[in-house]
């Protein structure tokens, strides 16, 4: 129960951290243009999709991660779908792989990044837990998994303790 009290404020902060609306372009940390497509804007006519798997890596014990929060910086050309409240739509991000059925994923578009929180009552271990699907213009080169940057990662166990040595990778 302590962890829920710890993660709920983090979730609220993550969800409230971004405001505004209607932008269809931004810049990433390198100053490169990053296109985004809000749900109320029409998608580019000719597109294809590329999916990336997000995975827990590092040294947590099996099923020991109860909550994880991080920011995923999007590379130029990575387009995600989100609604008018900046929540990323399930067509762009969903739980997958070893994520338990009780898992809760919240993802919010924030400029040229996505703020992601995953909580579970039964725990995550090493391996895939979510899928990110980007929309790309036909003829564009899909960004490599290494072009995405994970930052500000916080992982906690069932005792509300931070888990050092935990990371998130894209495949």
- Residue bearing the bigger pLDDT, 153 or 13: 153
For residues 32 and 11, what is the distance between their CA atoms, to the nearest angstrom? 28
Map out the domains of the chain as residue ranges.
2-170
pLDDT tens for residues 66-82?
999 999 999 988 899 99
The CATH T-level fold of domain 2-170 is Immunoglobulin-like (2.60.40)
**Average of per-residue pLDDT across 4-26:** 40
The residue with tokens 């040294």 is: 59
pLDDT tens for residues 93-151?
999 999 999 999 999 999 899 999 999 999 998 999 999 999 988 888 999 999 999 99
Strand order in 65-73's β-sheet? 104-110, 113-124, 65-73, 149-156
Q: Is the pTM of this model over 0.85?
A: no
Q: How far are the Cα atoms of 7, 78, 117 from residue 53, in angstroms, in the given order?
A: 23, 14, 15
């Amino acid at each position: 129960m302590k962890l829920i009290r710890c993660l709920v404020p983090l979730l609220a902060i993550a969800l409230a951290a971004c405001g505004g609306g209607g932008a269809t372009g931004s810049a990433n940390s390198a100053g490169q243009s990053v296109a985004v497509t809000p749900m109320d804007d029409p998608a580019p006519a000719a597109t294809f999709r590329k999916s990336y798997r997000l995975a827990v890596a590092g040294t947590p014990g099996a099923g020991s991660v109860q909550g994880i929060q991080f920011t995923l910086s999007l590379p130029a050309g990575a387009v995600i779908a989100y609604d008018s409240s900046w929540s990323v739509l399930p067509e762009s991000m969903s739980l997958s792989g070893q994520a338990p059925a009780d898992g809760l994923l919240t993802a919010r578009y924030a400029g040229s990044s996505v703020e992601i929180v995953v909580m579970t009552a039964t725990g995550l271990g090493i391996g895939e837990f979510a899928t990110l699907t980007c929309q790309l213009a036909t003829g564009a080169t899909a960004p490599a998994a290494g072009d995405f940057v994970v930052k500000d990662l916080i992982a906690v166990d069932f005792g509300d303790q931070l888990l050092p040595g935990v990371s998130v990778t894209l495949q």
